[in-house]
Amino acid sequence: MCPALLLHFEDETASAARIAAAAGMPHACIQRHRFPDGELKLRLPATLPPHMVLLRTLAQPNEKLVEILLAAHAARTLGAMQLTLVAPYLAYMRQDIAFAPGEAVSQRIVGRLLADLFDAVITVDPHLHRVTTLAEAVPVPRTVVLSGAPLLADLIARQRPGALLIGPDEEAAQWVAQAAARHGFEHAVCRKVRHGDRHVEITLPTLDIRGRAIVLLDDVASSGHTLAQAARGLLAAGAASVDVAVTHALFTGDAGPLLWNAGIRQVWSTDCIAHPSNAVSMASAIASTLTSE
């Protein structure tokens, strides 16, 4: 049965409207007030149906996690018995072990927080490493993982037929393979050695790329340094063009100019995070998971 109401915050009204329209459900905005000291006050609808959905994509996540904490607890007191979180981008998933003594394992901590608040979590291409399922990271009764790779592959097939798909590092292999299989694209991945957040070394795959249209495909782009480094190497090796397709367009700081200066021609992303590069909507796929609950 379709949930009765989708709750969202003002900055995600457009995304909520797309999902709600595709699911055939109403949506309502959570009112938010910030006190002079920075604390937040939220106001939800005065009464809620038994099954509620909260939309919050977790780019720039720290304050949004507080919003989720307040909204979920308030929803329970207002009549919601079953809560579903739709987080198209799910933050704090990359650190699943302590890399040095004393480090907080953020995936376990945030995953447990969300599990204490929600009965179900729906997300798109979570950045998981040493765990194989979202349920291991976020132990809720129901998890749904969607992918932007098939829809990005459809766009690439229209815009760059016959393109060579390349992952900027080994971690992108699963998404590159999924996109390539959909339209029979040739594909490969680069190897990456990271020396810091903004310093990486890229080794290109051993295949002839001269004269080829290349699309770098990945789940997330943040600083842009890995994509830029890969693009520079590919163009130096004779690629005819390099474009980028990503599920999550974080693109922090000077990522945009960095990509253009590296020679990247076009950037396409899904609307999991609102960005000028958005070219593919995940609304229908998300709505389908809600109407099947």
Is the CA virtual torsion 66, 70, 76, 80 positive or negative? negative
Q: Give, for 278, the enclosing helix (H) or strand (E).
A: strand 278-280
Q: Each residue of 83-102: pLDDT tens digit?
A: 999 999 999 998 888 888 99
Catalytic residue list: 192
Q: Identify the band that residue 293 occupies on the pLDDT scale cut at 50, 70 and 90.
A: low
Fold of 149-271: Rossmann fold (3.40.50)
Instruction: Compute φ and ψ for 56, nearest 5 degrees.
Output: -155, 105
**For the chain, domain boundaries:** 5-147+281-291, 149-271
pLDDT at residue 275 greater than cutoff 70: yes
CATH of region 5-147+281-291: 3.40.50.2020
Q: Is 213 helix (H, G, I), strand (E, B) or coil?
A: strand
Tokens of 71: 């909204």
118, 84 in Cβ contact below 8 A? Answer: yes
Indicate the average pLDDT of the chain. 92
Query: What is the pLDDT at residue 198?
Result: 56
Q: Give the model's pLDDT for residue 195.
A: 54
For the packed helices 283-291 and 13-23, what is the interaxial angle rounded to 10 degrees? 50
Question: What's the pLDDT score for residue 126?
Answer: 94
Instruction: Identify the band that residue 4 occupies on the pLDDT scale cut at 50, 70 and 90.
Output: confident
Per-residue pLDDT, averaged over 190-217, amounts to 82
CA gap 255, 200 in Å, rounded: 15
pLDDT in tens, 115-132: 999 999 999 999 887 888
Q: Where residue 254 falls among pLDDT bands split at 50, 70, 90?
A: confident
pLDDT of 3 higher than 80: no
Residues of the chain above pLDDT 70, percent = 96
Domains 5-147+281-291 and 149-271 in one fold? yes
Q: What's the pLDDT at 200?
A: 66
Confidence of residue 2 (pLDDT cuts 50, 70, 90): very low
> In a 10 Å sphere around its CB, with 0-12 CB exposed, 13-18 middle and 19+ buried, how is residue 48 labelled?
buried
Residue 1 confidence (pLDDT): 44
To 5 degrees, how large is the angle CA 281–CA 282–CA 283?
90
pLDDT of residue 277: 95
